[in-house]
Amino acid sequence: MITRDNYEEFFLLYIDNELSVANREAVERFIAHHPDLQEDWKALLHCRQLPNEQLVFPDKEALYSIGAQEEEEDDEFLHYSPDLSIVFPDKASLYKEGDNKRIVWLPWLRVGVAAATIGIVALLVVLSGHHTTVPSVAQPIVKNNKNAPPVTPAATGTLHSIEGQATRPADDRAVVHKVKVKTSGQTVPHDLVQQQAESHDPVRDAALDPTPAKTVDITATRVAVTTANVTTTTVTTANVHSNDAIAAVQTGIPRNESSFATEALQQHENENHDPENNILVADESPAPGKGKLRGLFRKVTRTFGMTADRDKDGQREVLVGAFQIALK
């Protein structure tokens, strides 16, 4: 509804052509009924801007040719090829040699450190593994025979050195073996120990060898077996020969708690025992190969030790320092 209060807005909407046909007619009727407002109405009509039709864009051809020019430029771009004769004159100055050296150096340093670490770990594993396979054998020591050729035991003092002695011809040389075994204090099934002794005891093999010419030349052997309860067993043999072996065995541990080495020596003694010629020879002189390296090996093997026995549940265990780790 047009009133004298809102007529101006209706006039403006009429000039802007934003009114419906009905409202346009309403505005025209309102102006006819209010002649005093016709001045304002004419003033607003004069404010409309009428375009000057004579004013035209002077250069339409330039606008038409925009498309053609763009297409020609596109064609030139598509057919343009680089001039390969133009090269950069000082490429050598762009290469970075110093950076390459530094990049190579750092990885090699890291590789070296990694290789050294792997080597140390591998050495420790090998040593601990060797100790595990023959845990109860120490360095054999040659004693009391200056004429005999020196016996060279293995670095770890395995029973293979004893086997080497057993294959030599019999003589009156005295040999003392010291064997120390550390176990976890668990009772080992006898059959397992027996099996291990059968598979790894060359002394017993040599003693059981029916060949007459083969003799065992173990003059004196001392085996010390230490359990968690500090049980020590000393086995002494003297002038043991294949046919008339003389040995004295002193043991303080039950058979079912002894290690396979003790079992082997006991069995060997039972077969070749001669109480009349008990000779206990203890040689404290250092064996060949004993040195700084041997001490290091002992420390390593004590730190990483695997028991040769099994506990009551039949599980194997590994000693790492003061910790026991069960093996499955």
Q: In the chain, what is the greatest distance between 2 CA atoms, to the nearest angstrom?
A: 161
The span of 44-52, 86-94, 142-150, 315-323 binding other proteins (CB under 8 A) equals: 44-52
Per rule CB under 8 A, is residue 72 in the interface with other proteins?
A: no
Cα separation of the two ends of the chain: 100
Residue 32: CB minimum distance to other proteins, A: 21
Structure tokens that stand for 251 in this block: 């043991």
Q: Where are the beta strands (DSSP E) in the chain?
A: 140-143, 174-182, 222-226, 234-237, 247-250, 304-306, 316-320, 323-327
Nearer to other proteins, 46 or 96 (CB): 46
Nearer to other proteins, 45 or 123 (CB): 45
Per rule CB under 8 A, is residue 107 in the interface with other proteins?
A: no
Nearer to other proteins, 15 or 300 (CB): 15
Residue 40: CB minimum distance to other proteins, A: 8
Per rule CB under 8 A, is residue 155 in the interface with other proteins?
A: no
Per rule CB under 8 A, is residue 51 in the interface with other proteins?
A: yes
The span of 12-20, 152-160, 229-237, 249-257 binding other proteins (CB under 8 A) equals: 12-20
Nearest to 310 by CA among 131, 182, 187, 181: 187
Residue 63: CB minimum distance to other proteins, A: 5
HSE (CB half, 13 Å, CA atoms) of 161?
25
> SS3 string of 18-44?
CCCHHHHHHHHHHHHHCHHHHHHHHHH
Nearest to 144 by CA among 34, 289, 282, 36: 282
The single residue among 60, 91, 96, 146 that binds other proteins, judged by CB under 8 A, is: 60
Nearer to other proteins, 74 or 172 (CB): 74
Nearest to 217 by CA among 260, 251, 246: 246
The single residue among 22, 32, 63, 322 that binds other proteins, judged by CB under 8 A, is: 63
Tell me the C-alpha distance between 153 and 141, whole Å.
8
Question: CB pairs under 8 A, 24+ apart, for 253-257?
Answer: 253/225, 253/227, 255/190, 256/187, 256/188, 256/189, 256/190, 257/187, 257/188, 257/227, 257/231
Nearer to other proteins, 60 or 96 (CB): 60
The span of 41-49, 91-99, 107-115, 277-285 binding other proteins (CB under 8 A) equals: 41-49
The span of 42-50, 117-125, 190-198, 208-216 binding other proteins (CB under 8 A) equals: 42-50
Site residues (vs other proteins, CB under 8 A)? 8-9, 12, 15-18, 40, 43-44, 46-52, 55-60, 62-64, 66-67, 70
